[in-house]
Amino acid sequence: MAKLGGVTVDLKKMVIAVVVAIVATAAAVAATAHSQRVLQQELHSYPPGTLKLGQSAVIDGVEVRVDGADVLESVASLGTRGYGMETLVADRRFLRLSIYLRNKSDKPVSARKLLRDLRAVRMGADEVQSTRVVWLRGYDALSPDRLGPAGSQTAETAGKVTLDVSSFALSLSFLVEVGDGKARWGVDVVDHNATEAGLLR
């Protein structure tokens, strides 16, 4: 009986040890996740009110959302035809943005006019890094045409449009603004080639 009692005590100790190990592991995982969140916040300390990619804002009665971004050295713009591509000088890039628009007003709205002041802004210095909006062609391009009134089949659209930006701006996180700064999104698209001396002559 004493032996059985000893086995019971050993089992209890083993169960307690396993539970303690599980709790310790869960705590370590939670601490690591917390540290990663803090690190991300420190790396991307955007100004108050900055929207995250995927968050919406309403500009002049239109819901605007920036869903993603990447960098290209050439694009098929509306100014080119066939296989033609528009290219920039070595120290500039095309910042391609995935944008969603939905007209919530009862009047048609021109997407081109709505996004005419779309721009990238360097944080801290508030320097405008983009000089122009480049409208693209192709199946995934955002149309610059009119959005129909709310409730119509043409009231919403989504697609890609680009900004002509300085390659220096793409070495750090920055802001994308719409509506003369009424809405801004934090963007981090590091262009590693932009930091190579050969491309910054």
In sequence order, what DSSP letters do the residues of 136-161 get, joined into one string?
Answer: B-STTBPP-SEEPPTTSTTSEEEEEE
C-alpha distance across the termini of the chain, in Å: 86
pTM, rounded to two decimals: 0.74
Q: Closest by alpha carbon to 73, among 62, 88, 60, 63? A: 88
pLDDT mean by block of 10 residues, the chain; 201 residues = 54 75 72 53 74 95 95 93 91 94 96 94 82 93 95 95 89 88 88 50 33
| Res 18: pLDDT | 74
**Type of residue at 148:** G
* Phi, psi angles (nearest 5°) of residue 135: -80, 135
| Res 117: pLDDT | 92
